[in-house]
Structure 1
Amino acid sequence: MAGYRDLLRTPGVGRIMAAQLTARFPNGMTSLALLLYIERETGSYGAAGLVLAATSIGQAIAGPVTSRWMGIWGMRKVLTLTLIVCATAITTIALVEMVLPAYMALGLIAGLSTPPVQPAVRTIYPKMVTGRQLTPLFSLDASLQEIIWILAPVVITVVATQVGTVPALLLIVVILLLGGAWFILSPEVGRVRIPRSRRSIGTVMTKPPIILATVVGFLLIGACAAVEAGVVATFGHDGLEAGLVLAVFAVGSLAGGLGFGHIPIGRWAMARRLGIVTVGLALTMVSLNVWWLGGTLVLAGLGVAPALAVLFAMTSASVKFSDTAEAFGWVGTGQLIGAAAGSAVAGFLIDGVGPTGAYLAATIFAATGLVVSVVFVRGFPDLRGRDASPMPDTAPVATIT
């Protein structure tokens, strides 16, 4: 913990981390709020699913595109534009009664304009701390983001059920604007300039570490999404147990990230951490008792944030600085698609065999990630004895002879 205290004493680190967590807080609220609102307006969960699918597609497309724009027009301009468009789209959904295709179109726009805060802040981090501090910083970031997934669903559910779904959506807009403004106005966002990449979009995906980070992120988040579906199916939407079990899963991840964040990252780091996740998830199928599920998910959670920290560090260390935002955008897109895939597969299995099917799906996703990490272990960079800073951009320098 002393190392984390030193990190947070570094000028600007605590502020930028708090700002980006606030700006990203709506990410843990929007899907649930849209689900409740659209279902109330249309009387159909299927219609709500279509709106959520359109939003997710927009987010997946936007990830690498808006991230790359930050190297062309600057972070503040892109973040401000996307923030305004996204807030306008969500406000319109909340206040204007429409037909389903219009809701889907606005959901797509909201997804496409989701501010690229995550790629931005992970591009800024290497410019704020020493190379030795970067890996622990990524671990701390991965751990603290669990706060979003612990608190955000609880807050939005209470507001939507006790006050109304329209106020819930408007609350998201308020947090989006305030948190986004705080992040955009942070001095570090104006101070760090991403060089314009000289490579065409998608070129970063030819690098094995970026491909592995995207694939493993897809599988890891797919496993987490399947767990969420399984817990809800086990205890019901209204069961207090569901919220508590998902909270301890996130707490386990938080504890793992803080506890293992100082460990150097070698080629086998991802395999070891996914091994913990896989074992924990496999044990969930033994019993659906609330205490058993809570204990096994704490075990599985111990590997989640540390595995994400490896993803962030290997992504940063494998590309030039001008490509970091786009690389994180692709990795984020992989995670979004993984969340959708995990939820969908778990849903089909829940309908077919019951809640245990969701935990089976989660185990298969995690185990596949473990296999990928073992088979392609040479594709993971060995960061022991070196830092996770991106490679510097170089260019020819004109000389007079």
Structure 2
Amino acid sequence: MAAQLTARFPNGMTSLAVLLHIEHVTGSYGAAGLVLAATSVGQAIAGPVTSRWMGIWGMRRVLTTTLAICAVAIATIALVEASIWVYMVLGLIAGLSTPPVQSAVRTIYPKMVTSRQLTPLFSLDASLQEIIWIVAPVVITLVATQVGTVPALLLIVVILIGGGAWFILSPEVGRVRIPRSRRSIGKVLAKPPVLLGTIIGFLLIGACAAVEAGVVATFDHGGLEAGLVLAVFSIGSLAGGLSFGHIPIGPWAMARRMLIVAVGLSLTMISLNIWWIGGTLFLAGIGIAPALAVLFAITSASVKFSETAEAYGWVGTGQLIGAAAGSAVAGFLIDGVGATGAYWAAAGFAIVGLIVAIACVRAFPDLRHRDPSPIPDTEPVSTVSPA
């Protein structure tokens, strides 16, 4: 878990570092936004594709190849002065080659623990990943502003290589073999839990992205107050995951967790006072890690082992698109009506997620008395013994 968190640490740093670097080089936030958009498109496309490749060529080979390409692309952005179009191509390459660590580790988890430990492990993973979103942006902003944007990008390359190598060399990565999927890519979305996980993940992360934009707009464009409030939001998620991760997952589990998020985010619209925003976001955060844990568990329990990596790739792509959509909608509303508009957007995303969870409750598997591990690719065959 420590290795995969380190390997994924650049996920919380790259977008901000690229934004700051391209703006510094070109003097334009619009140009920086284009490069970030290209990077996000690459990540969204790569999610299910590179995850599926792990079943064809093996985890270590895919992780090593993508890591090397991604590191070279980011280092080139840092060290080479070029036109905006070249930076966009490099951003696209960096996005396409983002190592599928998240899909890999969540495919490995069911092989590491017993079925009773799997749901708490998913919850712990969802909680601890909040460390990435609390610490990483602070570190990279400090380095970029105090040392320079080039050293900031090179720091990302160092962490990417170091953390990636640590994870790739972990014994579990070498022991687990993903069978080659026999179905064409995208077929796994025909499984209702996977599709629901992708849609609700889109809405949940969209809400979180809108909150981030709203907090930055409320508290003077990323000042100390903004960082503290966002940290409280993440601490709420961490507390929720650690407190409720052991609760068995039934069909209504997602609806209950999304209700907490929706109520908390709806209350943010009452006042922009720092104490009120902090308290309501802490409340909303309590539901986030447990909701993500439900997504991971229902995805795992509804697909064959050979399909788990691709399924998590699609769920990850939904979250990436949700982050982009949440930021975009919040940005338009901030320009139109002020910071309060971002909280409207966040509450709207969460409420729609709650409605989807309630309307589709019958499609959620009941895991209270069921092994949440993936379905084996080979099933035992019944035979009739001779009399």
Q: Which TM-score applies when normalising by structure 1?
A: 0.94
Q: After superposition, where does 1:12-161 map in structure 2 within 5 Å?
A: 17-161=1-145
1:262 to 241, 246, 249: 246
CA deviation profile, 1:279-313 (whole Å, cap 9, x unmatched): 00000011101111000000000000000000000
**TM superposition shift of 1:387:** 2.0
Instruction: Give the secondary structure class of the aligned counterpart of 2:270.
Output: coil
| Aligned equivalents of 1:248, 1:65: Cα separation in 2 | 35
Instruction: Give the secondary structure class of the aligned counterpart of 1:251.
Output: helix
1:204 to 166, 188, 210: 188
| Aligned equivalents of 1:73, 1:238: Cα separation in 2 | 43
Amino acid at match of 2:305: F
**2:320 equivalent in structure 1:** 336
**TM superposition shift of 1:235:** 0.7
**1:372 equivalent in structure 2:** 356
| Aligned equivalents of 1:367, 1:238: Cα separation in 2 | 27
Q: After superposition, where does 1:165-176 map in structure 2 within 5 Å?
A: 165-176=149-160
**1:326 equivalent in structure 2:** 310
| Aligned equivalents of 2:371, 2:235: Cα separation in 1 | 28
**TM superposition shift of 1:380:** 0.6
Structure 2: gaps spanning 5 or more residues: none
CA deviation profile, 1:207-242 (whole Å, cap 9, x unmatched): 111110000000000000000000000012241100
Is 1:62–1:111's contact at 8 Å kept on the other side of the alignment? yes
CA RMSD of aligned residues (A): 1.0
Q: Does 1:241 align with 2:225?
A: yes
| Aligned equivalents of 2:156, 2:222: Cα separation in 1 | 22
Is 1:90–1:110's contact at 8 Å kept on the other side of the alignment? yes
**Cα gap change, 1:267/1:175 in structure 2, threshold over 3 Å: closer, same or farther?**
same
**TM superposition shift of 1:394:** 1.5
Amino acid at match of 2:362: R
| Aligned equivalents of 1:202, 1:36: Cα separation in 2 | 35
Across the two proteins, how many residue pairs are aligned to each other? 382
**2:165 equivalent in structure 1:** 181
**TM superposition shift of 1:386:** 1.2
CA deviation profile, 1:27-81 (whole Å, cap 9, x unmatched): 0000000000000001100000000000000000000000000000000000000
| Aligned equivalents of 1:288, 1:179: Cα separation in 2 | 39
| Aligned equivalents of 1:153, 1:195: Cα separation in 2 | 37
2:341 to 357, 375, 389: 357
Amino acid at match of 2:115: G
Q: Does 1:162 align with 2:149?
A: no
Is 1:278–1:300's contact at 8 Å kept on the other side of the alignment? yes
What fraction of aligned residue pairs are identical, expressed as a percent? 83
Which runs of at least 4 in structure 1 moved beyond 6 Å after TM superposition? none
Amino acid at match of 2:55: G
**2:285 equivalent in structure 1:** 301
Is 1:135–1:387's contact at 8 Å kept on the other side of the alignment? no
Amino acid at match of 2:58: G
**TM superposition shift of 1:396:** 9.5
Q: Does 1:194 align with 2:178?
A: yes
| Aligned equivalents of 1:352, 1:395: Cα separation in 2 | 57
Instruction: Give the secondary structure class of the aligned counterpart of 1:136.
Output: helix
Q: Which TM-score applies when normalising by structure 2?
A: 0.98
CA deviation profile, 1:84-103 (whole Å, cap 9, x unmatched): 00000000000000000000
Structure 1: gaps spanning 5 or more residues: 1-16
